[in-house]
């Protein structure tokens, strides 16, 4: 483990209540690294991701994410960890009664940002980076699914995260739009030196845009570095 390690799990067992989901998990992800997470439904992908953002407690083994010891987290410190993470889900989870800009403002205020001009500058900067310049006043229902997911990515980047956790972010998108979202995330990871863990069922993406692969299978996590499935 080095100063560039963003995710470190050692001999971790992951439980859903009393049920053992994954065992003997060893995983390292470094700053700026793009990693796929694959596995069949029920293989433990979501449980692994939930452990990383502390929706599931770590009770067995050692783990750290963005400098936080997962075993020592509590109700007070979990929000501090999550401010160092950007999370992108398959479902956009945007506030439908607010504009694109107001969705991002809401997130910034929740993370403790103050100063309207500073927040406005950050919003404008990120909307430009995700190719949504000029869409500030649009309502979510007035833009496409791909554009909504770009808003979600902008929201995930607001607080300069060290790790983006993307859980099936292209699951509701057509292939062309899926490729655009994937390439955007890879570009942003490279530009920001942000690690990205990208869970997907889309093997077409893995074939077209190869990268390191982590696979959940039979209660274990396997590293298939640079293998094309």
Question: What pLDDT, on the 0 to 100 scale, is given for residue 47?
Answer: 95
Indicate if 166 and 151 belong to the same structural domain.
Answer: no
Task: With a cut of 60, say whether residue 104 has pLDDT above it.
Answer: yes
Last residue of a domain, one of 132, 160, 188: 160
Indicate if 208 and 173 belong to the same structural domain.
Answer: yes
CA distance 229 to 222: 13
Please count the helices (runs of H) and the strands (runs of E) in the chain.
7, 10
Indicate if 76 and 46 belong to the same structural domain.
Answer: yes
Which of 31, 23, 55 has its CA nearest to residue 216? 23
Which of 72, 35, 69, 88 has its CA nearest to residue 196? 35
Tell me whether residue 90 is in a domain: no
Indicate if 103 and 5 belong to the same structural domain.
Answer: no
Instruction: Please answer whether residues 215 and 221 qualify as being in contact, where contact means their C-beta atoms are separated by less than 8 angstroms.
Output: yes
Question: What pLDDT, on the 0 to 100 scale, is given for residue 228?
Answer: 45
For residue 82, the Cα-to-chain-centroid distance in whole angstroms is: 11
Indicate if 100 and 80 belong to the same structural domain.
Answer: no
Tally of structural domains, the chain: 2
Indicate if 168 and 154 belong to the same structural domain.
Answer: no
Indicate if 151 and 165 belong to the same structural domain.
Answer: no
**Mean of the per-residue pLDDT values for the chain?**
92
Tell me whether residue 11 is in a domain: yes
Q: What is the pLDDT of residues 54-81, one digit of tens each?
A: 999 999 999 999 999 999 999 999 999 9
CATH code at position 76: 3.40.50.300
Indicate if 4 and 78 belong to the same structural domain.
Answer: yes
Q: How confident is the model at residue 225 (pLDDT cuts 50, 70, 90)?
A: low
Q: What is the mean pLDDT of residues 201-219?
A: 93
Indicate if 4 and 79 belong to the same structural domain.
Answer: yes
Whole-model pTM: value is: 0.91
Indicate if 1 and 73 belong to the same structural domain.
Answer: yes
Q: What is the dihedral of CA 35, 44, 174, 162, to 10 degrees?
A: -40
Instruction: Please answer whether residues 33 and 195 qualify as being in contact, where contact means their C-beta atoms are separated by less than 8 angstroms.
Output: yes
Q: What is the mean pLDDT of residues 120-135?
A: 94
Question: What pLDDT, on the 0 to 100 scale, is given for residue 227?
Answer: 44
Q: What does the angle CA 63 – CA 64 – CA 67 come to, to the nearest 5 degrees?
A: 165
What's the DSSP call for residue 71?
Answer: G
Last residue of a domain, one of 108, 133, 160: 160
| Dihedral angle sign, alpha carbons of residues 112, 149, 21, 31 | negative
Last residue of a domain, one of 160, 189, 205: 160
Domain containing 219 equals 1-84+161-229
Task: With a cut of 90, say whether residue 93 has pLDDT above it.
Answer: no
DSSP assignment of 3-23 equals TTEEEEEEEEEEEETTEEEEE
Q: Is 219 helix (H, G, I), strand (E, B) or coil?
A: coil
Span between the terminal Cα atoms of the chain, in Å: 28
Lowest mean pLDDT among 59-63, 89-93, 154-158, 207-211: 89-93
């Amino acid at each position: 483990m080095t100063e560039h390690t963003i995710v470190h799990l050692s001999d971790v067992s992951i439980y859903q209540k009393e049920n053992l989901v994954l065992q003997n998990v060893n995983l390292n992800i470094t700053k700026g690294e793009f990693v796929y997470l694959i596995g069949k439904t029920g293989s433990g992908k979501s449980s692994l991701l939930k452990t990383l953002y502390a929706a599931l407690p770590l009770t067995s083994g050692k783990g750290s994410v963005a400098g936080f010891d997962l075993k020592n987290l509590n109700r007070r410190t979990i929000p501090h960890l999550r401010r160092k993470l950007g999370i992108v889900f398959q479902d956009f989870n945007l506030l439908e009664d607010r504009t694109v800009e107001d969705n991002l403002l809401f997130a910034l205020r929740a993370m403790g940002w103050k100063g309207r001009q500073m927040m406005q500058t950050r919003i404008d900067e990120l909307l430009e980076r995700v190719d949504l310049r000029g869409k500030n006043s649009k309502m979510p229902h007035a833009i496409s699914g791909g554009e909504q997911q770009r808003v979600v990515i902008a929201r995930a980047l607001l607080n300069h995260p060290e790790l983006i956790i993307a859980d099936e972010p292209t699951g509701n998108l057509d292939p062309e739009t899926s490729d655009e979202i994937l390439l955007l995330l890879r570009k942003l990871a490279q530009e920001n030196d942000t690690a990205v863990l990208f869970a997907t069922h889309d093997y077409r993406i893995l074939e077209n845009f190869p990268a390191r692969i982590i696979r959940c299978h039979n209660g274990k996590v396997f590293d298939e570095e640079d293998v094309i499935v």
